[in-house]
Amino acid sequence: MSTSETKNDCTREIEVEIPAEVVARETGVVVERFQKHARLPGFRKGKVPASVVRQRFPEDIRSEVVEALIPRYFRQEVEKRGLQPVSQPRVSDLHLAEGEPLRFKASFEIMPEVQVSGYEELRAEKTDTSVSDQEVEEALGRLREQHATYSAVDDRELCDGDFAQVALVGTPQEGEGKPVTMDDVMVEIGGANTVRDFSDNLRGARPGEERQFDVTYPNDFSDQRLANKKLAYTVTVKGIKQKVLPELNDDFAKEAGDFQSLDELRNKVREQLEAEKKHAAEHAAKDKLVEELVRRNDFPVPEALVDRQVDVRLERGLRALAAQGMRAEDMKKMDFSRLRAGQREAALREVKASMILEQIADKEKIEVADEEVSQEIEALAKQMQQTAEAVRARLTRDGALDRIRNRIRNEKTLDFLYRRSA
């Protein structure tokens, strides 16, 4: 027997009563299991009377009966009512006494009714994706930088624009972390990406000279291993080099990509820039479409889904920090409560967007073929340098295949909206 109560559009609470005879039968099963394994003074193993087991282990027996019956009867009740919980049930008002039914309340979240409107008339913004001659020349300039060579300079003092070939040792102050050691690294004096302390302290040095100085890195320094740290550096100048850029001509075009002429290279660069602009414009337009869909459609969102998306965002951020070199011990010092709170608004928006796109996909009958999922798995396998079979097995075991299928479906739905509105 059960009753139910609707607390809000996402939360349900049901009262469940499990018949006394079911409770008695399950209790007997648990007691028999205890009899087989219990070791008590004066009794041989497996020969402890049921009455003694009940007397000695009442709380353990009660706990196992509850753990066995509540999940089973909770599932039966929600299935009977056609409800699909998206959160673990929170059990309260548990009543269990000998000879009586087991009663409890369970509150949980379900998916709300989502009626999407206003997507048919959405229009994507038109963006100019043409490429100017100046942009082409700037891109060629960057290509020249990539093919630059470095020539040694006769003995003289380092000045702005030079590249110092150095060996260095950086010792963290206050004993934080390991020393930074590099035997051969190039430092551009006065360079836009060079830490100013290096330029200021190496300017004027000659090959063979040693300089010592401290560097305090800011909190937002690109290399998280050095962020907010102070290091004492000993730097030895091994040589001075100057950057030599190749001439922009047909020979450079052949070296840069086996093009027959500089004009052919220019055309290719223009095509690539146009493709990049179109991709960026499409990405921005899709973001605005999603933003507008979320604005137009207001509905409650289960907190459990928002919490899961916060987890996804945090995990993604921590992986990025690890890739930048942040140590595990430094990550443990982070204020995760504050980080979670900071991610909640974006996570809520992402969950709402996903729910809206799923509804549109249902209306427009957008589906994902097995072949599309297989292609995604093959791409993941290549990235992870594993076999597709191994990746599929792991995703199946983790229950992640449905998430991949849903993501592909949402991407197809957003692409459908963009193509229709463009």
The CB density around residue 363, as the number of other CB atoms within 10 Å, is 12
Decide if 169 contacts 234 (C-beta within 8 A): yes
Per-residue confidence at 44, pLDDT binned at 50, 70, 90? low
**What pLDDT shows up at residue 8?**
59
Q: Residues 59-68: what's their mean pLDDT?
A: 93
**What pLDDT shows up at residue 361?**
96
Per-residue model confidence as pLDDT tens digits over 50-60: 888 788 888 99
Per-residue model confidence as pLDDT tens digits over 90-112: 999 999 998 999 999 999 999 99
What are the phi and psi torsion angles at 91 (to 5°)? -90, 135
Residues above pLDDT 70, as percent of the chain: 97
Per-residue confidence at 175, pLDDT binned at 50, 70, 90? low
Element (H, E) at 220: none
Please check the confidence at residue 2 and state whether its pLDDT lies above 70. Answer: no
Q: Which two tokens mark 387? A: 């076999």
The CB density around residue 303, as the number of other CB atoms within 10 Å, is 16
Please check the confidence at residue 3 and state whether its pLDDT lies above 60. Answer: no
**What pLDDT shows up at residue 264?**
95
Question: pTM (2 decimals)?
Answer: 0.73
Please check the confidence at residue 45 and state whether its pLDDT lies above 80. Answer: no
**What pLDDT shows up at residue 137?**
96
CA distance 85 to 112: 11
Per-residue confidence at 5, pLDDT binned at 50, 70, 90? low
Per-residue confidence at 414, pLDDT binned at 50, 70, 90? very high
**What pLDDT shows up at residue 351?**
95
The mean of the pLDDT values for the chain is: 90
Please check the confidence at residue 364 and state whether its pLDDT lies above 80. Answer: yes
CA distance 29 to 394: 36
Please check the confidence at residue 397 and state whether its pLDDT lies above 70. Answer: yes
**What pLDDT shows up at residue 6?**
52
**What pLDDT shows up at residue 4?**
52
Per-residue model confidence as pLDDT tens digits over 177-209: 788 899 999 999 999 999 999 999 999 999 999
Per-residue model confidence as pLDDT tens digits over 243-291: 999 999 999 999 988 899 999 999 999 999 999 999 999 999 999 999 9
What are the phi and psi torsion angles at 116 (to 5°)? -85, 135
Q: Which two tokens mark 40? A: 């008590």
CA distance 334 to 32: 49
User: Poorest-confidence range of 42-46, 149-153, 335-339?
Assistant: 42-46
